[in-house]
Amino acid sequence: MHTLRAPYLLYLGDVQLKSDAKTAFGLRDWCRDKVLAEWSLPTATVSLGLDLLSPAMAAKHGAGSLIIGVAAVGGAIPDAWLDDLEQALDAGMDVVSGMHTRLSTFPRLVAAAARNGVKLIDVRHTDQPLPAGTGLKRSGKRLLTVGTDCALGKKYTALAITENLHKRGVAATFRATGQTGIMIAGAGIAIDAVVADFIAGAAELLSPANNAEHWDIIEGQGALFHPAYAGVTLGLLHGSQPDALVLCHDPSRSTIEGYPHMPLPSLAQAIDRYLEAARLTNRAVRCVGVSINSSTLTDSQAQDYFTRVRSELGLPVCDPLRGGVDALVDELVRSAAVQP
């Protein structure tokens, strides 16, 4: 894993959807001490609420890296961004991307990096050979966050659970499977950039055998119900061999985001489908709770919704950013204690 030079200038390009800027928001929220400012094109409609600094000004304030904070569908780097990226390189910063398109495919960026002695870093890509999955049981414990859709809180939930376990003195490691998680954790495998045959094997490699009481908290990707990304989710699910699942959901959505013809399942249906799929590699898997992205609800609406879901499913329900994940971790620890 590359070492990223902090502090970071978070680049938003011409982003129009908040969900497409999840990389930038994740870095702002989970490693704020490393983030200096943001920069975007005039056509952008999303802001992180940080100081706005051009690449040249950010470099004068000590920025070490410009990080592309956008993760749009398709993962392409638009030509409209190249002037800003080149300016960052000319100012002496590394440019870091989690997009599918490699920075090295742009000759002008390669030339700018060379003449300034700085780096182009593609965290989504690795030259490490990856194995096929084996399905063999590994020691240690694993929790995987799963979702009814993409971009609704799987990473935030995994990070919050890891932090909560640490506060309780429980050995736990956050295992990053996406570009933002890798930037936060400093290591990981971008599962959606792995050749399909090796997704399960990559997940096994990501969460290796460990001490019996150690928890790997694995960041989920995609959703079983997504017409484009269900394959990534299934491979990660099988390779992770989770002992526990947490289902993540955004109650403001009734269909897959960007796919209005694809209705979301009920939460009960989603849990059943995830457990059914996960049992291929771990017959003892269980769902320990539901994590809700309640950002579109008022406090009273959120509490009413939590109460209703809790009653319907008989599971703890929470929002990591609205009250924390104590109830989820209580159930995780309790259920782990009674496992044979």
| pLDDT given for residue 101 in this prediction | 87
Q: What is the pLDDT of residues 23-37, one digit of tens each?
A: 899 899 888 999 999
Find which of 69-83, 119-133, 157-171 is predicted with most confidence, using mean pLDDT.
Answer: 157-171
Q: Is residue 131 part of a domain?
A: no
| pLDDT given for residue 224 in this prediction | 96
Residue 10: how many other CB atoms lie within 10 Å = 26
Extract the tokens encoding 118.
């700085």
Residue 231's domain comprises 141-338
- Residue 339, pLDDT > 80, answer no
Domain count, the chain: 2
Amino acid (one-letter) located at 136: L
* pLDDT average, residue stretch 131-141: 94
* pLDDT average, residue stretch 176-198: 88
Residue 36 and residue 174 in one domain: no
CATH number of the domain encompassing residue 20: 3.40.50.720
- Residue 73, pLDDT > 70, answer no
Q: What is the pLDDT of residues 268-320, one digit of tens each?
A: 999 999 999 999 999 999 999 999 999 999 999 999 999 999 999 999 999 99
Q: Is residue 130 part of a domain?
A: no
Q: Is residue 38 part of a domain?
A: yes
Separation CA 131–CA 300 (nearest Å)? 48
Separation CA 203–CA 178 (nearest Å)? 12
Residue 196 and residue 114 in one domain: no
What is the residue-averaged pLDDT of the chain? Answer: 93
Extract the tokens encoding 313.
């499913």
Residue 107 and residue 150 in one domain: no
Residue ending a domain, among 89, 122, 155, is: 122
- Provide the whole-model pTM: 0.83
